[in-house]
Structures are given as structure tokens and as C-alpha cells.
């Protein structure tokens, strides 16, 4: 009757630790189920505190404010550059958000616990990067109305088309960001190391996201949006796969 | 857009070559010093091992 | 063999650089559009080639480390990355110096220069990571992972910046090298920097290996507890 639940419970209470035999331990949970497990765990943790998302949103809104002060009350310039400010704010805030996601694991050796469950590291990676992406997406959705207020942007094509560059852009940040955060949290000078490592390789993603967002906001007379969306898509495909494959080496003992 | 021949500009050429030579010689000296330091460090641990 | 390389590599490097300099500065004729300023190409392009070879070496060595856990591979990766950053820096500065008289600006978003700038920061990050991690296995593993991620990014950066730029139709660096003396000068300098890369990487590799040995030795405080003389 409850065979599925029993199986899951049985497999999650591990009796054996990973042995040193040459035969590879098959992961107990399927990739999808393990991924959902990680996603649920991280969401639950965040919901209990809500500290991360609050702090991140405040920081990002503050950044948008700083941009308008730095540039000055030149409405035309502000409106024109609004997509750039938006994505810069997301990128800067992502450093806080990504770092926090990994700190949760570093405290109390929680990552060790995950490892002992013989979870496929790809599941851990997928789960964490999806959660990171969703957090950044939530942040982006909050920042859009703030940008409209601060910079006077108008959304000519409607909110629907805006969804695509926001999703692809936050996914692009999350894919390498999750892996780099896992490294940085275990290294010295972690707060400096994460942006130093992450930002250079995000530049093509940043370019594409800003261009795509800009085209959605101000109209796309020459049909360039497709190309930029495809570039973002390609970036995502490459990095989600690559980082998924490499993540296991990053968190191994 | 450039039209025709740019006159002179040798100071830029010299600057570029100076940068190149400085970097190459500078890095040579840097490596030489690092080599010394590393060998000294190895010698230090080696001696402590044997004592 | 060791002696031959120790003497031969720098001799070839400096020798070719000097000869290449003479050919490039005195013997090759002025260029049609750019007069004599174009001669910067003789140090700019070889630096770019050298940097690319260096970074590719780091990538290959990193892959070898991930599959074989070879400390030698890790040392090669570290060394060629550092040499690559030096060459990359040279390429950026000479590129900027070239841009001033030809385009009138110290910097431009030319796809090649922009990609070079991003690569520079990316590999400086690689070197910083190595400096901030103390455990040797973790350092080697993570550095290898980062090297792969960075290297994969290079073509992506190149295409995206080229796209981004094509909308503004910026002038790119000229490509034609018709005169045989020009070709010779370029080749001499390119080989010169190749020899510098080999020599520098080899020297840096030795330093890295020495440091590995220092790291893996027991600290002196443990020696008495181990019973004195071995």
C-alpha cells in the first residue's frame, strides 16, 4: 500500500557508508527525486528564516537607487540604461544569495550529511542551482517595478516577453554561480573570491541578458531578440551541463 | 577612419617594444628570485628533517 | 639534455626577439595605411598567440589532473597559467598603445581586445583561487575545474562580443600582411615568444614542483617525535 513511501524512507535511512570497493555505489534515489528533495529542503530552510531573500532584495533595490544617484537626474540616460542597471543589481546581489546558499551546507557539516546519503552530486547541483535561479528570479520580478519607478522605463511588449530574458539571465548566473559558491565557501577570502571568479565568465551572459531585456522594453524593430535569446540559451545549455558534471569533483572529500 | 599614411608615430612603437622587453626581462628576474626562495625553503625543511 | 634546454631556450628566445626586432623595425617596409605605427603588431600578435598557447596548456594539464591526479600536471597548469597572464597583460597594453594612434582612443570594444581583457581577469581569478586554498588536493581539483569553465567561456565571449560590436560597426584590427619581410618579422617574433613561453613555463614548473615538495614534507616540529635520524 505505502510501498513507495516505505522504499523512500528505507533508502534515506542509510546503514552503509560509502565503501572503498571498486564497484560504484548506485545512488539510492533517482536523480529527479533527489533533486526535488534538495529543492524542498532549501526552500523550507529559507522559508523558516526568510533572511536571505529579504537582505538580497534590499541590497538590490539599494543598488538601483545608487545607480540613479551616480548618474544624476538625466531621465533619458536613466531610461536608456535601465536594463544595464537592472542586471548589474541582480549580479551584485547574486553574490550574496549564492554565498548564503552554500554557507547553509558548510555550517554543521551538513554537506557531509548529504554526501553520506550517497546522493548523486548532480542532484545536489541541480537542486541548488534551481533554487538559486528561482531566488534570483523572484528578485528580478521585484526589481522590475522598482526600475519602472526609478528610471521611467516602459514595457512596450508587455510583461510576458520580459519573462524569457529574466529567466534565462538568472539561470545563466545560477549555473556557474552555484559551483563557484561551493568552492568559495571552503576557501579563504570567500567574499572576494566568488565575484572575482564569477563575474568575468558571466560577461557574455550579461551582454545577452541586457540586450534582450532592452529589446523587450524598447521594442525590437530588426528582430534581434531571437539571436540574443539563443545566445543566452546556448550559454545556459553549456554551463548547466558542464557545471553539473564537474560539481561532484568540487564537493568530494 | 584613417585615410592615407599616418605620419611618424615612432614613439608608440618604441613604447610598445619597451613594454614588451620590460615585461619579459622583468618576469625573468621575478622567476629567478622565486626559484631562489623556493630552493631555500626546500633546503630549510630538508635540514630540519635530517637533524 | 637539461643543460641544453636551460641554455638553449632562453638563447633562442632572446636571440629571435632581437633578430625579429631588427627585421621588424628596420628591414620591413612601412605599411600602406598605417605607416610605421603598424610595427607594434610584431610584439602584439605574438603575445596573443603565446597567451592562447599558454591557456590551452593550462586546460590540457587541468584535464590530465582531473583524470590522473598527477601533481606534475597540476604544476604545469599553474605555471602556464601564470605565464599566460603575463603574456595576456603584454597583449592588452601593446594593443592599447596601438589603438591610440590608429583609432584615436586608448581602448575600444574590438572583439579581440575585449576577449583578451576578459580572459585576463578570468585567469587572474584562477591564480587568486590557487592562492586562497591551502589544501593541495582541493586546490588542484578546484583550479582544474575553474580552468575548464573559463576556457569553455572563451569562444562564447568571442562570439557574443563580436555580435554586440557588429551593431556598432567598429573598425577592427587590420589583417593583411602582404610583404615577405613583414611575414618574416612576424614569424621571428612569434617563435621568439613561443620560446619565452616554453622557457618561462619550464622555470615556473620547477618552482611549483619545489613548493609541492616543501608542502608535502612533514613540519620540522614532528621530526623529534619520529625518533631522530631516519
Q: Per-residue pLDDT tens for C73-106? A: 999 999 999 999 999 999 999 999 988 888 888 8
Is the model's pTM score more than 0.80?
A: yes
Contacts of B17 in chain C (CB under 8 A): 21, 25, 43
- What is the rounded distance in angstroms from the CA atom of residue A85 to the CA atom of residue A213? 11
Given a contact cutoff of 8 angstroms between Cβ atoms, the answer to whether C113 and C152 are in contact is no
Given a contact cutoff of 8 angstroms between Cβ atoms, the answer to whether C186 and C42 are in contact is yes
C-alpha cell at C109: 570594444
Beta bridge partners of C31: C35
Judged by 3 or more CB pairs under 8 A, whether C touches B is yes
Q: Judge whether B2 lies within some domain.
A: no
Encode pLDDT of B2-49 as tens digits: 445 666 678 899 999 999 999 999 999 999 999 999 999 988 887 665
CB contact under 8 A, C160 and A207: yes
Contacts of C106 in chain B (CB under 8 A): none
C-alpha distances in Å from residue A84, one per residue of A138, A157, C3, C8, C166: 18, 18, 56, 52, 19
Q: Above 70 in pLDDT, residue A83?
A: yes
**How many folded domains does chain B comprise?**
1
**Domain range for residue B25?**
17-51
Judge whether B1 is closer than 8 Å to chain C, CB to CB: yes
Residue carrying the nine cell digits 530588426? A222
Q: Judge whether B38 lies within some domain.
A: yes
Given a contact cutoff of 8 angstroms between Cβ atoms, the answer to whether C205 and C75 are in contact is yes
Chain centroid to Cα B19, Å, comes to 10
Domain coordinates in residue numbering, chain C: 11-25+36-208
DSSP letters for chain A: --HHHHHHHHHHS--SPP---SSPPPPSS-HHHHHHHHHHHHHHHHHHH-HHHHHHHHHHHHHHHHHHHHH-S-HHHHHHHHHHHHHHHHHHHHHHHHHHHHHHHHGGGHHHHHHHTT--HHHHHHHHHHHHHHHHHHHHHHHHHHHHHHH----TT-HHHHHHHHHHHHHHHHHHHHHHHHHHTTSTTHHHHHHHHHHHHHHHHHHHHHHHHHHHHH--TT--HHHHHHHHHHHHHHHHHHHHHHHHHHH--
Encode pLDDT of C7-61 as tens digits: 999 999 999 999 999 888 888 887 777 778 888 989 999 999 999 999 999 999 9
Encode pLDDT of C196-206 as tens digits: 999 999 999 99
Chain C residue with Cα closest to A186: C133
Amino acid at each position: 500500500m505505502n510501498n513507495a513511501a516505505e522504499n523512500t524512507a528505507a533508502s534515506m535511512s542509510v546503514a552503509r557508508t560509502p565503501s572503498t570497493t571498486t564497484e560504484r555505489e548506485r545512488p539510492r534515489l533517482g536523480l529527479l527525486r533527489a533533486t526535488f528533495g534538495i529543492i524542498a529542503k532549501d526552500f523550507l530552510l529559507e522559508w523558516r528564516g526568510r533572511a536571505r531573500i529579504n537582505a538580497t532584495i534590499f541590497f538590490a533595490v539599494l543598488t538601483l537607487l545608487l545607480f540613479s544617484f551616480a548618474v544624476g537626474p538625466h531621465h533619458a540616460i536613466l531610461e536608456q540604461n535601465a536594463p544595464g542597471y537592472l542586471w548589474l543589481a541582480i549580479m551584485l546581489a547574486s553574490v550574496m544569495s549564492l554565498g548564503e546558499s552554500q554557507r547553509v551546507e558548510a555550517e554543521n557539516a551538513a554537506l557531509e550529511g548529504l554526501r553520506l546519503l550517497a546522493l548523486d552530486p548532480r542532484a545536489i547541483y541541480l537542486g541548488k542551482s534551481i533554487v538559486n535561479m528561482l531566488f534570483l528570479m523572484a528578485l528580478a520580478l521585484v526589481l522590475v517595478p522598482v526600475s519602472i519607478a526609478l528610471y521611467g522605463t516602459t514595457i512596450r511588449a508587455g510583461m510576458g516577453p520580459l519573462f524569457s530574458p529574466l529567466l534565462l539571465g538568472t539561470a545563466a548566473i545560477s549555473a556557474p554561480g552555484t559551483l563557484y559558491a561551493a568552492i568559495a565557501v571552503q576557501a579563504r577570502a570567500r567574499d572576494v573570491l566568488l565575484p572575482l571568479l564569477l563575474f568575468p565568465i558571466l560577461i557574455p551572459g550579461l551582454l545577452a541578458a541586457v540586450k534582450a531585456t532592452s529589446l523587450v522594453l524598447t521594442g525590437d524593430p530588426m528582430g534581434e531578440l531571437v539571436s540574443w535569446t539563443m545566445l543566452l540559451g546556448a550559454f545556459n545549455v553549456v554551463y548547466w551541463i558542464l557545471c553539473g558534471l564537474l560539481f561532484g569533483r568540487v564537493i568530494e572529500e | 577612419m584613417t585615410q592615407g599614411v599616418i605620419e611618424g608615430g615612432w614613439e608608440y612603437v618604441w613604447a610598445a617594444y619597451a613594454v614588451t622587453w620590460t615585461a619579459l626581462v622583468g618576469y625573468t628576474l621575478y622567476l629567478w628570485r622565486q626559484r631562489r626562495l623556493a630552493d631555500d625553503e626546500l633546503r630549510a625543511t630538508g635540514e630540519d628533517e635530517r637533524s | 639534455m637539461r643543460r641544453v634546454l636551460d641554455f638553449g631556450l632562453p638563447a633562442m628566445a632572446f636571440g629571435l626577439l632581437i633578430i625579429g626586432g631588427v627585421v621588424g623595425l628596420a628591414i620591413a617596409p612601412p605599411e600602406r595605411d598605417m605607416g610605421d605605427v603598424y610595427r607594434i603588431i610584431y610584439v602584439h600578435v605574438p603575445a596573443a598567440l603565446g597567451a592562447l598557447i599558454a591557456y590551452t596548456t593550462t586546460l590540457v594539464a587541468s584535464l590530465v589532473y582531473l583524470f590522473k591526479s598527477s601533481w606534475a600536471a597540476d604544476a604545469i597548469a599553474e605555471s602556464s597559467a601564470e605565464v599566460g597572464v603575463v603574456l595576456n597583460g603584454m597583449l592588452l597594453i601593446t594593443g592599447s598603445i596601438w589603438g591610440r594612434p590608429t583609432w584615436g582612443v586608448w581602448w575600444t570594444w574590438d572583439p579581440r581586445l575585449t576577449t583578451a581583457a576578459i580572459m585576463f581577469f578570468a585567469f587572474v581569478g584562477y591564480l587568486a583561487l590557487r592562492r586562497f586554498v591551502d589544501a593541495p588536493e582541493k586546490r588542484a581539483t578546484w583550479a582544474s575545474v575553474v580552468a575548464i569553465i573559463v576556457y569553455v567561456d572563451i569562444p562564447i565571449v568571442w562570439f557574443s562580443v563580436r555580435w554586440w560590436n557588429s551593431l556598432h560597426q567598429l573598425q577592427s584590427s587590420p589583417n593583411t600582411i602582404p610583404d615577405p619581410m613583414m611575414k618574416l618579422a612576424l614569424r621571428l617574433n612569434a617563435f621568439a615568444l613561443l620560446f619565452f613561453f616554453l622557457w618561462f613555463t619550464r622555470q615556473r614548473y620547477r618552482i611549483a614542483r619545489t613548493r609541492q615538495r616543501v608542502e608535502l614534507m612533514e613540519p620540522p616540529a614532528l621530526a623529534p617525535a619520529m625518533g631522530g635520524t631516519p
